[in-house]
Structure 1
Amino acid sequence: MRKLTYGMNVSLDGYIAAPGDDLGWTAPGDELFQWWSDRVAATGTALYGRRVWEGMSSHWPTADQRPGVTPAHVEYARRWRDMPKVVFSSKPLAVDWNTRLVTGDAVTEITRLKAEDGGPMDIVGATLAAAAMRAGLIDEYVVVTHPVLIGGGTPFFTALDGWVNLALAETRTFSGDVVLTRYETRG
């Protein structure tokens, strides 16, 4: 069975995006950017919600062709394009760059994908992750906490029907006082 991880940059007050989908507070330093890039390289399949897909696909397919691009960004763009991706959307949506679209029930498809052979999977996007959380499909949570309070927006965690017991698996501090905590689900 494949491992499913939900991980994102999070404000100290628990949001992944400020009102208006503002992500300006999440700009990673070099060390954290490299950590995210290495994570993409190790991901067997990434599962995206529509809104996150639209943001990622508007930038990364050609990010390595922009003036002044850094070698780290070139590497990330290549890794992102090569990584198998599944986008979940109830609306028709153009997908490319090693990606397929699923318009049916996300929980059913994620359950099927978890049962397949293959590398670990990452789930990205609060709405999609919420459905997987409620279905008990997430094996690991990676919370990359930035030292900022944004006061509202899109929360990392959704309301759940019951408790999810976790075990701390890793902590790490990056430059800029950004703290990674990784938790595995118990039972």
Structure 2
Amino acid sequence: MRTVSFGMNISLDGYCDHTTFTPREELYDYFTEMMQDVDLIFFGRVMYQLMFPYWSDVARDQSGTADENRFAERLTALEKVVVSRTLENAQHHTRIVRSNPVAELMKLKQQPGGTISVDTVSMLPELISAGLIDKFNLVVHPVIVGRGRPLIDAGSLQENFNLKLVDSIVFKSGCVALHYEKQ
């Protein structure tokens, strides 16, 4: 059975608004390294549209820094599934799923392959409740923003979901990567 790993950048106060973070080169290296075992990314529509076509353009044009270009190349090359009822089309090795993300991820998890990276906040409570997320990789940025999308909406989980810290990395920028697994 494949491992399913959730990853997200968050502010110190728990928001996931990427427009409030200033990416550092060390984080592009970190995320590129994190994707080495990944062979499928499971997106929600909003996150997919934040990432594409921006990163595919960077990969094609080599318009970023060397670290950004490596990240863009790896991200663009991976197979992707995007869950959306409204997205008309998707590119860059992406398949659209219209309904039942839990059943889709469960089916994918049971297939042979590498790690599945889940990059969606909107479906996270549903996927956690179904027991589908094995690992959590959060990068906490040293900023308090007070607005945006919270990692988990209040009241969206029926019970606590206890995790075990297995690793942490402190970056020069002050960001902290936290790696958790299900207990």
| Shorter-chain TM-score tier | over 0.9
Aligned to 1:183: 180
Query: CA offset at residue 133 of structure 1?
Result: 1.3
Which SS does the other structure have where 1:144 is aligned?
A: strand
Unaligned runs of 5+ in 1: 18-22
Counterpart Cα distance in 2 of 1:59 and 1:152: 24
State whether residues 40 and 83 of structure 1, in contact with CA within 8 Å, keep that contact through their aligned partners in structure 2. no
- Cα deviations by residue, 1:49-76 (Å, 9 ceiling, x for unpaired): 0001111112011113557532222222
1:20 maps to what in 2?
Answer: none
Question: 1 CA distance for matches of 2:142 and 2:71?
Answer: 24
Aligned residue pair count? 181
Cα deviation, residue 27, structure 1: 2.4
Alignment partners' CA distance in 2, 1:66 and 1:82: 15
Find the aligned partners of 1:132 and 1:160 in 2 and give their Cα distance.
10
Asked if the contact 1:15–1:153 (Cα under 8 Å) also holds between the matched residues in 2, the reply is yes
Aligned residue type for 1:172: I
Alignment of 1:72-91 (within 5 A): 72-91=67-86
State the identity %: 29
Q: CA deviation at 1:165?
A: 1.6
> In 2 relative to 1, CA 137–68 (structure 1 residues): closer, same or farther, beyond 3 Å?
closer
With over 3 angstroms needed to count, the CA separation of the structure-2 counterparts of 1:67 and 1:75, relative to structure 1, is: closer
Q: Indicate which of 88, 97, 105 corresponds to 2:92.
A: 97
Greater displacement, 7-16 / 38-47 = 38-47
- Counterpart CA distance in 1 for 2:92 and 2:172 is 32
2:129 is aligned to 134
Letter in 1 for 2:12: L
Q: Residue 63 of structure 1 aligns with which residue?
A: 58
Paired with 1:46 and 1:146, the residues of 2 have a C-alpha distance of 23
State the distance in 1 between where 2:63 and 2:105 align: 38
1:16 aligns with 2:13: no
Q: State the alpha-carbon separation in 1 of the partners of residues 27 and 179 from structure 2.
A: 14
TM-score by length of 2: 0.92
> Please, what is the CA RMSD of the aligned residues?
1.5
| Change beyond 3 A, Cα 1:139–1:68 | closer
Q: Secondary structure at the match of 1:31?
A: helix
SS at match of 2:88: coil
AA aligned opposite 1:181: L
